[in-house]
């Protein structure tokens, strides 16, 4: 997928100002930067939830504006602040969501079984979502995003609200889906360690601009930095 000269204006705010980046099939690509940098806006345009003010995005050759319906068939999106239906059990929620993409009863059943394995909630899937902790809900939602084995999974802060062990579990699942099923992943994260662990390449975004793009190890070497936090601080003049 490729974004070219992407601009998004909200009133007097220029959330994206000529952003360009490309994601290779089968890689994990990260958008990183501070709050308000434009990461979520870019993800929402990729997922056809926002229209760009100018510029264009193609997902596997499909234009996100002119061919939005076709893009939605190959993309799965996990928002940062997503929620599950409170009065459905985890199992019922997964079945409900699987019916949107499953073409048969057997396919829906297989997707839900896959999601149950991903989230690792076991018997708690029989309980209503309103009884889940924040971390349990996040695991359920990550499972929902991956269970269809989408061509492109767009994940906004995938490990948000998870403790160390559950965050590790989610990252391992993402890596496995990329390796075993060829899923391409575009994600945003505030967690630089998560980004370094998961991403083949990253774009550092600040104030609606891409200030750097490359492999995490190469960027650290370029800026003689121990981690991506230092890289970002030096790239934008904070250090």
What is the CATH number assigned to the segment(s) 2-82+150-235? 3.40.50.300
- Residues 118, 173 contacting (CB under 8 angstroms): yes
149 alpha carbon, distance to own chain's centre:
14
- pLDDT attached to residue 19: 97
Rounded CA-CA distance 197/29 in Å is: 11
Instruction: Note the pLDDT tens digit of each residue in 193-238.
Output: 888 889 999 999 999 999 999 999 999 999 999 999 899 999 887 7
- Distance between CA atoms of residues 219 and 228, nearest Å: 8
Q: Where are the domains of the chain?
A: 2-82+150-235
What predicted TM-score, i.e. pTM, was given to this entire model?
0.93
Report, as an integer, the average pLDDT of 141-149.
Answer: 93
- Helix, strand, coil percentages, rounded to 5, for the chain: 40, 25, 35
């806006």: which residue's tokens?
Answer: 41
Task: State pLDDT tens for residues 130-140.
Answer: 999 888 898 89
């Amino acid at each position: 997928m490729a974004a070219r000269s992407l601009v998004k204006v909200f009133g007097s705010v220029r959330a994206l100002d000529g952003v360009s980046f490309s994601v290779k099939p089968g890689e994990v690509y990260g958008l990183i930067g501070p709050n308000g940098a434009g990461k979520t806006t870019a993800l929402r345009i990729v997922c056809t939830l926002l229209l760009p003010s100018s510029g264009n995005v193609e997902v596997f050759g499909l234009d996100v504006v002119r061919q939005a319906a076709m893009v939605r068939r190959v993309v799965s999106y996990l928002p940062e602040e997503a929620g599950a239906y409170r009065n459905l059990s985890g199992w019922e929620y997964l079945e409900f969501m699987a019916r949107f993409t499953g073409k048969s009863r057997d396919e829906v059943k297989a997707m839900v079984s896959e999601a149950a394995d991903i989230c690792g909630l076991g018997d708690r899937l029989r309980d209503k979502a309103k009884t889940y902790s924040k971390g349990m809900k996040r695991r359920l939602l990550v499972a929902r995003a991956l269970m269809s084995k989408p061509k492109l999974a767009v994940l906004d802060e995938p490990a948000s609200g998870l403790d160390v062990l559950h965050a590790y579990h989610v990252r391992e699942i993402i890596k496995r889906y990329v390796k075993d099923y060829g899923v391409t992943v575009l994600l945003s994260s505030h967690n630089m360690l998560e980004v370094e662990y998961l991403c083949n390449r990253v774009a550092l975004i600040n104030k609606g601009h891409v200030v750097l793009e490359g492999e995490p190890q190469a960027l650290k070497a370029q800026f003689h930095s121990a981690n991506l936090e230092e890289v970002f601080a030096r790239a934008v003049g904070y250090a």
